[in-house]
Each structure stands twice: as structure tokens, then as C-alpha cells.
A and B are shown apart, each in its own frame.
Chain A
Amino acid sequence: DQQVKQNSPSLSVQEGRISILNCDYTNSMFDYFLWYKKYPAEGPTFLISISSIKDKNEDGRFTVFLNKSAKHLSLHIVPSQPGDSAVYFCAATSNSGYALNFGKGTSLLVTP
């Protein structure tokens, strides 16, 4: 049973524009959320995270928004660059520090 869902398998965005990647979760016990970037045949690399006590966290070109009532979060990348092309995974966990629950990922393609 997928507790973290990324319903868009792929997204194509022009360079310089905004990329918005969405993620929904079903488990109300989740209170910490993370975004990872992954290239083929490599492990995921951490991008940005957000705690449930916040609704926004920003780090450079990356901003994550959390809507707890909707159990929805999104990752905004502005401006998008060709080097951002990768698969982005949304993950969730609880403060008890158990393992991460991942979505299926969204493949982002940023075209010049």
C-alpha cells in the first residue's frame, strides 16, 4: 500500500521556468518530509526537507511547500536548469526516526 504518492511520472519544463513536483501522503503519522534527486544507477541524494511544524522551506532555487490539511507537498525549482534533469523522489517519515517511505518518483526533464 503506497503511503506516499507521486502521481506524475514525468514532467518536462523549459530552462528558466518553474518546475513544480507534487507529492501526496496518506499516513497522518508522517511529520517529516524529504525530497531526493536520483540519477540512473546511483543512490538518491538529499535535496531539501520540511518538518510538519512548517509550511515552507527554502534553499536556494529549491522550495518545498507543505499543506498538512491536504496531506500534500510540492517541490518548486526556480529557475529550472538542464542539470536539474533527474528523477525526484518524495519521502516521508516520522520523528521516531524510522525508515523513509518513498513515492514512485517524477522524472523531470529540463530542456534548453
Chain B
Amino acid sequence: GAVVSQHPSRVICKSGTSVKIECRSLDFQATTMFWYRQFPKQSLMLMATSNEGSKATYEQGVEKDKFLINHASLTLSTLTVTSAHPEDSSFYICSARRGRLDGYTFGSGTRLTVV
């Protein structure tokens, strides 16, 4: 089946630094990938839609200059949290869809802690 690999699974960084999270579709090409964020006991909230070869589409309230998304190839999208602050600490998950509507596959997530 479709596999989406997300790295790192866990990262701790200092305030003010930037962190890059990678999302790779291992056995299929994904022209579109999605980035979600989950707070404790909350829903997965869509942050942005990553489109290969073009600019990402950000949801309302998501700062595009803070959460930089790059989708340079059909198998790789990256999310960079710039100038991270403690309030950016969260669980970030990427997703890619392969074919059918039930073909959404999720990465294993990245737990970001900003100290």
C-alpha cells in the first residue's frame, strides 16, 4: 500500500531557531500533500496544502512566513517552522492522497518541542 514517510519523528529546538520537517511519498507520486497540526486532545487542523511546483495554499490564520512549505518534487514536501517559539510546540502530520478518496495516507507525525 501507499506509504508516507515523515522525519524527524521528534525534535526539540531552542526558541528562535528553525526546524525542517520532511514528508516523502515512498511508492507513489503525490502532486498534492497536506500539512496538519494537532494540539493535545484536539482535532487535526489543516495548515496548508502543498502543491508540487507551485506555492502552497495556506488556511486562514496560518502564517505563511512562519511555516514555509516547499514541494520541490512529486515525492517530497517540507515544512519549515521558522523562528520557532514555545507556542509552536505541537504535533505536525503530513498526508498525501493516492488516487481514490480513501487513498489519503498519513505520515507518522513529528512532535516538535520548542524550549
A interface residues (Cβ-Cβ under 8 A, vs B): 2, 4, 9, 32, 34, 36, 41-46, 49, 51, 89, 93, 95, 97-105
Residues B97 and A104 in contact, CB atoms below 8 Å apart? no
Residues B6 and A43 in contact, CB atoms below 8 Å apart? yes
A-B pairs, 5 with minimum CB distance: A43-B106, A49-B102, A104-B43, A102-B44, A102-B43
Q: Is B7 part of the contact surface with A, judged by Cβ < 8 Å?
A: no
**What is the bound-complex CA distance between A103 and B106, given in angstroms?**
16
Q: Interface range on chain B: under 10, 10 to 19, 20 to 34, or 35 or more?
A: 20 to 34
Given A41-B91, A89-B44, check contact A100 B109 (CB 8 Å): no
**What is the bound-complex CA distance between A70 and B83, given in angstroms?**
45
5 further interface pairs, Cβ-Cβ under 8 Å (given A43-B6, A101-B46): A32-B102, A43-B4, A98-B49, A100-B44, A100-B95
Contact partners of A46 in chain B: CB under 8 A: 102, 104-105
Q: Is B108 part of the contact surface with A, judged by Cβ < 8 Å?
A: yes
Q: For chains A and B in complex, what number of residue pairs have CB atoms within 8 angstroms?
A: 61
Q: Is B93 part of the contact surface with A, judged by Cβ < 8 Å?
A: yes
Residues A42 and B104 in contact, CB atoms below 8 Å apart? no
Residues A9 and B46 in contact, CB atoms below 8 Å apart? no
Beta-carbon contacts under 8 Å, B42-91 to A:
42-46, 49, 91
Pairs A–B under 8 Å by Cβ, sample size 27: A4-B43, A32-B101, A32-B102, A34-B102, A41-B9, A41-B91, A43-B4, A43-B106, A43-B107, A43-B109, A46-B105, A49-B101, A49-B102, A51-B101, A89-B43, A97-B97, A97-B101, A99-B95, A100-B46, A100-B95, A100-B104, A101-B46, A102-B44, A102-B45, A104-B41, A104-B43, A105-B43
